[in-house]
Amino acid sequence: MKQKALRAPSKTLAIIHETMSGLHKAGVLDRETMREFDASCLAPVEKLAPDDIKSLRERERISQPVFAHYLNVSKGTISKWERGEKTPDGASLKLLNLVKRKGLEGIM
């Protein structure tokens, strides 16, 4: 099974991941351990407050409908997130975290 490259959050972690992948390919590291290591390399997903979501959108200089299009949700959902009536979770929260770290380019 071919090991998929993982985008590590730092150069150091990328080097460690490359080494671990090599150990896995050589048969020294089992599949389960490699999966656990891959999971530990993922950036944490933090909850965002309504003001944080609005600030992200404003930082990117886009309207609620355009932001909704990027996140594949409705304009009403964005509005409810920004007013605190709903809370993003799952894939939407992951996408918001990517936008926070990398801008809209991170999800294009």
List CB contacts of 76: < 8 A, sequence separation 6 or more. Answer: none
| pTM for the model | 0.69
- Tell me what pLDDT residue 9 has: 58
CATH number belonging to the domain at 50-107, selected among 3.40.50.300, 1.10.260.40, 3.90.230.10, 3.30.70.990:
1.10.260.40
pLDDT digits (tens, 9 = 90+) for 13-49: 778 888 888 888 999 989 998 888 888 877 789 999 9
Read off the pLDDT of residues 80-104 as tens digits, 9 standing for 90 and up. 999 999 999 999 999 999 999 999 9
Q: Decide if 84 contacts 77 (C-beta within 8 A).
A: no
Positive/negative CA dihedral, 14, 101, 86, 79: negative
4 DSSP assignment: P
